[in-house]
Structure 1
Amino acid sequence: MPDVPEQRSARGQGGGPGYAFLRGRVLRGALAHGRARGFGRFALAPPLPRVWGLSLFPRSGGADELALDQELSALSAAGRAAYVLRALDRLPDTEVRRVLESAGVADPVAALTEADSVPRRERPAAELLDSPEFDACSLQARPTDLLRRRRHRTAALVALVAAAVCGALLGLPAGGWGAG
């Protein structure tokens, strides 16, 4: 029976061509999502996916994850990308610059400088970013407020009955229904 080689980790080595291709596509998609569409104050970010009847939200983490989340939310999309490429993929700055340039970032050096503004922690950044809070595939799903849905349904039924009564009253003959 032939020996099966062990699975290799792509982190720290830049991965193979398939990993680099997928990383580039994900990075371009994330950067495109970070760009607002529209003009001036009417600029809107693209809508996130929604599931009717469910509330989707990420799992909550500890204090370190919350602090890192707040600090990363203050960065631009390119700055967050630079931080993650350094921390998770363990790429050197030259490779991060190259990856960001290929993804369409206008100023990768500024993105690296912005990523440097995130303070160091006791726990390594890779460990924090590997937590379930930052995992895009790990969501909690709960039904929306069932009582609120029931109230909306009752209000819609009352509105329908009121519209039917108004329609019936408007449909009366001009002289009324009495004997004339």
Structure 2
Amino acid sequence: MDGNENAHSTLIALSPEDLHDLLEKAAEVGANAGIDKYVEELKKSQKKRGDRRLHNTKLLLRNFRMLQENAENSVFGRTQMEESAADILESMMNIYNDVLVVESIKNSATRTGIIVSHIRTMLEIFEVCCEKSSNELDKRRYDIIYGLYISEDKISRKELAEKWNVSNDTTYIDEKIALERLSALIFGVDGLTLQ
């Protein structure tokens, strides 16, 4: 025996059934760990996508007046296009430069018209939901979104805070909640951020 081998080796004998049970348990533990990792990655991906949709909703609203103006005053007529609002919105998800997103919509009169029409429709649905709500907060949230992004004459946050007798901080909270709800309308069920 070599002087370097001071450790004792122990031989363990397993029956075929014990070996089978051990392998099954190891496979189950490995599979569960893989599933847990997959679910964790899926949640991260969904959150990132939800965050991106929320960001894009705000981007579309921030540029709504300009896009609407562009659609109404386009020199080029609208042509038949196979693309839907969903297709255009999905393509937005792959562009991470806000200027490029807006330019890609604005460069096509048809795309601009489709997006403006879609946003208008979703805003109308949001308005109806807020107006029918028994919660006064919903009416205020719609009014804040309308004033900041939609009305012909932009209304300042300070003016909205004074109108509703709330703080500027409250208008930011209301805007965030309204944007989340609008994101679900604009992007569909995929617009919901899953917790």
TM-score by length of 1: 0.29
Q: Which has the higher strand share?
A: 1
Q: Which has the higher helix share?
A: 2
TM-score by length of 2: 0.27
